[in-house]
Amino acid sequence: MEVQFSVEGRHLALHFIPDEEDLLREGTQRIANLSAHVELVKKAEIGDIHPDHLALIGILLSHPFVANQLELGVSVSERFREGISTIRRYAVCFETQRVEPYVATEGSRPGLAFSGGVDSAAALLLMPETTVPVFLDRPQQESKRTLYDKSAAYACLDEVERLGWHVVRSSCDLEFLRSPVGFPTDMATAVPLLANANLLNLDSTAYGTIMESAYRVGHAKSRQYMTSAHHRLWGPAFHGAGLPLNLPVAGLSEVMTTKIVMHSELHETARSCIRGAFPKTCENCWKCFRKALVERRHRGSRVTNKEMQRWMQVREVQAKLSAHPISHENVLAWALQGDNIESGVKDELLARTEGQIRDMAPFERWLGGASAALHEPYREHTIQRIASFCTPMLPEEEQALIAHEMSNWLTSEAAQRALKSFTGAYL
């Protein structure tokens, strides 16, 4: 694969030239478009974007499609070259001129890949006031009917702007590079941030990655994020580009990001559900179901069995509840362990989850080991902000959570019986 870069006016364009081997490569996604565009904050030239940032963008967008070799038509710094030495699956080639590494200048600011959802809003609220949230504005595909409604995300951006943050909205069509449509790598949401980093004098790259994704809690098997293949690959690559990773909510569960946003001025507008035209909410999907239950438990507000029965009629909720384990099961189980929900459906649903035998209270606390994923100059600030919402887990709680496996529970007689009886009654 060869990647070429060009800038015209306010647009960075990437052109991808795949080899035959790339096109033959098997995988869950295939390359569907040979170009992508990123909007810049002002008219620029190719020299206004640091070549290390161009190279990182090229890697983030082509990574799953490259078979043997990736040729990036730029020269990069030695630091960046070292940073990506953990990529072993294919060879990465650059031009050979000498390049100084990117160093943000005095007065630099932290960047955040911002979606307008609850998790990235919580990250923003834990970061310094100077943080620049950068929104990847995906162009609407006119030919296709979709449930994706951007009005809530736009309302959230307007609110963030009104509250004083410098918000950047960058139109970017990178999700159409692949089929099925989506991000080629999970880190690609920061591509507009990387493209504008030098123009905005940014010094780090934050994501709203929560504990459920970083440590895989709520999955069949948790992991130690800090030594995971994901962190070992991308950590050095972003460091090499002079925009180190910063993950303010990696040590927090969705239980806590929901609470942080609930207690902020972003409560009305930050939403993870992408359906429903703002200010109307959809209340008809899996995300809205989880959010409703988690918020109600935090507030201690009563949920009737009739409401629970209504949720059980929602098709997407039914589909998600048929999985074993259920996705984000720890979050759902935490919400169901509250005494604010009337008996009935709640008991049968709780019996369906590991919450039947496990106390979910640690998810109200912070996993302190995640402080290693905070960018050093902002670490103290973020830790203090977190401490205003919750206490850290005890070391033994932290270890147990990282080493946790659900397999014993999932195959137990109690879990199998509950699965059968719940499926029979509601699905």
Binding residues (CB under 5 A) for Zn ion: these are 273, 282, 285, 288
| Smallest separation (angstroms) from Zn ion to the CB of 332 | 15
> Which is closer to Zn ion, CB of 285 or CB of 303?
285
| Smallest separation (angstroms) from Zn ion to the CB of 158 | 20
Q: What share of the chain is helix, strand, coil (3-state, %, to 5)?
A: 45, 15, 40
> Which is closer to Zn ion, CB of 263 or CB of 280?
280
Tokens 């014993």, located at residue: 408
Residue 260 in tokens: 């942080």
| Smallest separation (angstroms) from Zn ion to the CB of 155 | 15
> Which is closer to Zn ion, CB of 54 or CB of 273?
273
Which residue blocks in 190-285 are alpha helix, DSSP H? 191-200, 211-214, 229-240, 254-262
| Smallest separation (angstroms) from Zn ion to the CB of 290 | 10
Residue 93 in tokens: 């080639």
- The full DSSP string for 139-208 is PP-TTS--S---HHHHHHHHHHHHTT---EEEEB-GGGGEESSS-SSGGGGGHHHHHHHHHHTEEEEE--
CA angle 399, 404, 406 (to 5 degrees): 170
> Which is closer to Zn ion, CB of 261 or CB of 273?
273
- CA separation for the pair 351, 333 (Å, rounded): 9
- CA separation for the pair 427, 423 (Å, rounded): 5
| Smallest separation (angstroms) from Zn ion to the CB of 291 | 8
> Which is closer to Zn ion, CB of 243 or CB of 282?
282
The residue whose Cβ lies closest to Zn ion is 273
- CA separation for the pair 65, 26 (Å, rounded): 9
| Smallest separation (angstroms) from Zn ion to the CB of 285 | 3
> Which is closer to Zn ion, CB of 120 or CB of 198?
120
